[in-house]
Amino acid sequence: MILVFGSINADLFVNVNNLPQPGETVLCPTYTFRPGGKGANQAAIAARLGAEVKFIGAVGNDVFGKPVLAALGKAGVGIDDVKVVGETTGTAFVLVEESGENQIVVASGANLETVSHQVKDEDLTDETVLVLQMEVPIKQIEQVIFRASEIGSKIILNYAPAARIERAALELCDVLILNKLEADALSGEEKKPEDHVKEFAETYNCECVVTLGKNGSVLANSSGLYSIAALQITPVDTVGAGDVFVGAFAVSLLNGSDSLKALHRATIAGGLACTVEGAQPNSITSSLIDEKINLVDVPKKLGKTEVDT
Percent of the chain residues past pLDDT 90, beyond the cut: 86
Give the residue numbers annotated as catalytic, written as ranges. Answer: 243
CB count within 10 Å of CB 67 equals: 14
Give the pLDDT confidence score for residue 307 in this predicted structure: 46
Indicate the DSSP class of residue 122: G
Instruction: Determine the Cα–Cα distance for residues 90 and 262; give it in Å rounded to an integer.
Output: 30
Confirm if 230 and 271 have CB atoms less than 8 A apart.
yes
Give the pLDDT confidence score for residue 303 in this predicted structure: 80
Please state the domain count of the chain.
1
pLDDT band at residue 309 under the 50/70/90 scheme: very low
Confirm if 57 and 8 have CB atoms less than 8 A apart.
yes
Written as one letter, the residue type at 86 is G
| Predicted confidence (pLDDT) per residue in 211-220, tens digit | 999 999 999 9
| Predicted confidence (pLDDT) per residue in 171-185, tens digit | 999 999 999 999 999
Give the pLDDT confidence score for residue 58 in this predicted structure: 98
Give the pLDDT confidence score for residue 220 in this predicted structure: 98
* Residue partners of 195: CB distance under 8 A and separation at least 6: none
What strands, in cross-sheet order, belong to the sheet with 300-301? 53-56, 2-5, 129-132, 154-158, 175-179, 207-211, 217-221, 224-228, 300-301
Indicate the DSSP class of residue 126: T
Instruction: Determine the Cα–Cα distance for residues 12 and 10; give it in Å rounded to an integer.
Output: 6
Q: Is residue 21 part of a domain?
A: no
Q: Does the pLDDT of residue 305 top 80, yes or no?
A: no
- Dihedrals φ, ψ of 97, to 5°? -95, 175
**Which CATH number goes with the domain that contains 165?**
3.40.1190.20
| Nearest residue to 163 via CA among 137, 197, 191 | 137
| Predicted confidence (pLDDT) per residue in 193-212, tens digit | 999 999 999 999 999 999 99
Q: Is residue 25 part of a domain?
A: no
Q: Is residue 22 part of a domain?
A: no
Q: Is residue 23 part of a domain?
A: no
Q: Is residue 248 part of a domain?
A: yes
Q: Which range of residues forms the domain containing residue 68?
A: 2-16+31-308
Q: Is residue 250 part of a domain?
A: yes
- Dihedrals φ, ψ of 63, to 5°? -65, -25
| Predicted confidence (pLDDT) per residue in 279-301, tens digit | 888 899 999 999 999 999 999 99
Q: Is residue 136 part of a domain?
A: yes
| Nearest residue to 56 via CA among 40, 71, 68, 41 | 40
Q: Is residue 106 part of a domain?
A: yes
Instruction: Determine the Cα–Cα distance for residues 201 and 191; give it in Å rounded to an integer.
Output: 15
| Predicted confidence (pLDDT) per residue in 32-91, tens digit | 999 999 999 999 999 999 999 999 999 999 999 999 999 999 999 999 999 999 989 999
